[in-house]
Amino acid sequence: MSYYVTSFINILHFISDELIQCDSTTKVAELFCDEFDDLDFELALCCFEATHKVAFQSRLWESEPDDYEDLTIEEFIESYVDAGEQRDPLFVTKRFLMFQESLTKALTEEADDPPEEF
């Protein structure tokens, strides 16, 4: 198992406050539950990129989750990480602004949903 895979798993555990348990053979789709959603996954991706100064390939950001949810974590990292070091001094800032945009969108959609009736 590569250093990047181990690191990504550690990030997933940390973000979920150890609520999700996974290893390199866990499929991406298996990560999602009440305690860990697509926004948490995107945060994990941004944290990984910031930690290692490497980027996920642009095709990941253009993909739907269906395109990679059947991959194991190891396959996901091997398929989508561009291991070239990012030298743009604004790389991390740009990635977290992408996350901020997703968070804002998610909060807006949540606010637009009608309240549940009991």
Residue 117, domain member (yes or no)? no
Within a domain: 83:
yes
Residue 59's pLDDT is what? 93
Give the residue numbers spanning the domain of 48: 3-112
Quick one: 100 exposed, middle or buried, by C-beta within 10 A (0-12, 13-18, 19+)? exposed
Is residue 90 situated within a structural domain? yes
Q: How far apart are CA 81 and CA 57, in angstroms?
A: 6
* pLDDT given for residue 23 in this prediction: 96
The model's pTM: 0.83
- Angle of the 91-112 helix axis to the 38-52 helix axis, nearest 10: 170
Low-confidence ranges of the chain (pLDDT < 70): 1, 113-118
The answer to whether residue 85 sits within a structural domain is yes
Number of domains in the chain: 1
Q: Which residues contact 38 (CB under 8 A, 6 or more apart)?
A: 32, 65
